[in-house]
């Protein structure tokens, strides 16, 4: 026997409760992303429209409808439709944040043989996928739902009589539902793309083509009067389908139900890809 030994010791449980594995993965994803100063800077920029809208709401409450006529458009209104317009205006930041947080999430794990490492631990596909989805969803909600909720509260506080319970309860609930569903759907689509590559830059390109390219094609279609081209507007379909939930006018010249069906199909395809691609061993019989 050695006189002194500081060697391997067995673990003595302390009785603390472990966090769910999906939460551990999500927490790690967030802390990893927010550690970068430029991510925080981008978040700050993404909140500028919300601050502008808040200022307009404030001035409007004090100066009446005159300002609304001057600024014009739904964007400044505090109705569900107005908030949908605001969310639509945030789509560039949605593209950026989801890309920064999610493009490399699975691609890097595939490149570094990380999937095998994860699946040598007591966790399943659902834990892994939920954790990774929450990372992207967190970024999405930070630039969409969070400002909407704060704006609702702000508008109610400066003029409680304006829309009352609708503004304090129903609009936030609708926004919560819309943002959660849209965010989760977009996150799954992005993660599916990420699972197809081992290089983050490739996923960034695909995501840009899908989001920005789709929007450009849609804009061209609108310009030349070809409504069929709007079907390529990937982000636009989520907002178009969301118009059903938010009680707003359709955002595209496409039936909202058709957009909803397309979004559902995209999620189903994404889940199928993720199920096929996320596995600890690359090629199995």
Partner 1 sequence: MHDAECTIEINDLTFAYRTTPVLREVQCAIKPGAVGLLGPNGSGKTTMLRAILGQLPLPPDRVRVGGYDMSKHARAGRRLLGWMPERGGIIPGFSGVALTAYLGELSGLPRQDAMQRAHEVLHFVGLRDERYRPCETYSQGMRQRLKLAGALVHDPQWLLLDEPTSGLDPGGRAAMLELVADLAGRKGLGVILSTHLLADVEAVCREILVLKEGRLLARQSVSTGELHGRHVFEIAGFGGEAAFVEALKRLAVEVHRDGRHIAALLDVDKLPAGLGSTTARAVRALLELAAACDYAPRRLRRRPVTLADEFHSLIKPEAR
Task: Please report how close the Cβ of residue 114 comes to partner 1 at its closest, in angstroms.
Answer: 5
For the chain, the first-to-last Cα distance in angstroms comes to 50
Q: How far is the CB of 119 from partner 1 (least distance, A)?
A: 6
Number of Cβ within 10 Å of residue 50's Cβ equals 20
> Interface residues with partner 1 (CB under 8 A)?
6-11, 13-14, 16-19, 21, 24-25, 28, 32, 108-109, 112-114, 116-124, 279-281, 283-285
- Asked whether the beta carbons of 234 and 174 are under 8 A apart, the reply is no
Q: For partner 1, which is the closer residue by CB, 65 or 285?
A: 285
Neighbours of 4 (CB within 10 A): 5
CB of 164 to partner 1, least distance (A): 43
CB 203, min distance to partner 1, A: 17
User: How remote is the C-alpha of 41 from its chain's centroid?
Assistant: 18
Instruction: Quote the CA–CA distance of 104 and 110 in Å, as a whole number.
Output: 9
CB-nearer residue toward partner 1: 7 or 73: 7
Among residues 13 and 225, whose Cβ is nearest to partner 1? 13
- 56: which 2 tokens? 């307009």
Nearer to partner 1, 20 or 89 (CB): 20
* Rounded CA separation 273/277 (Å): 6
């Amino acid at each position: 026997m050695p006189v002194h030994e500081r060697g391997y010791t067995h673990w003595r449980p302390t009785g603390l409760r472990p966090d769910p594995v999906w939460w551990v993965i999500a927490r790690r994803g967030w802390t990893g992303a927010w550690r970068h100063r430029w991510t925080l800077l981008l978040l700050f920029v993404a909140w500028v429209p919300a601050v502008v809208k808040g200022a307009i709401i404030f001035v409007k409450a004090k100066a009446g409808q005159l300002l609304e006529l001057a600024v014009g458009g739904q964007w400044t209104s505090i109705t569900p439709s107005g908030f949908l317009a605001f969310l639509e205006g945030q789509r560039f930041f949605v593209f950026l944040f989801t890309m920064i947080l999610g493009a490399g999430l699975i691609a890097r794990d595939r490149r570094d043989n990380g999937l095998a490492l994860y699946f040598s631990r007591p966790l399943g596909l659902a834990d892994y996928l939920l954790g990774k989805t929450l990372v992207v969803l967190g970024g999405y909600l930070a630039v969409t739902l969070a400002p909407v909720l704060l704006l609702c509260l702000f508008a109610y506080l400066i003029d409680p009589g304006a829309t009352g319970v609708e503004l304090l309860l129903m609009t936030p609930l609708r926004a919560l539902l819309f943002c959660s569903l849209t965010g989760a759907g977009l996150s799954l689509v992005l993660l599916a793309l990420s699972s197809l590559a081992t290089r983050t830059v490739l996923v960034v390109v695909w995501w840009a083509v899908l989001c920005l390219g789709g929007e450009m094609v849609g804009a061209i279609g609108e310009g030349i009067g070809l409504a069929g081209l709007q079907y390529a507007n990937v982000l636009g379909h989520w907002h178009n389908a969301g118009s059903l939930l938010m009680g707003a006018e359709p955002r595209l010249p496409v039936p909202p139900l058709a957009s909803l069906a397309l979004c559902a199909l995209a999620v189903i395809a994404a889940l199928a890809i993720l199920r096929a691609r996320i596995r600890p061993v690359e090629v199995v019989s």
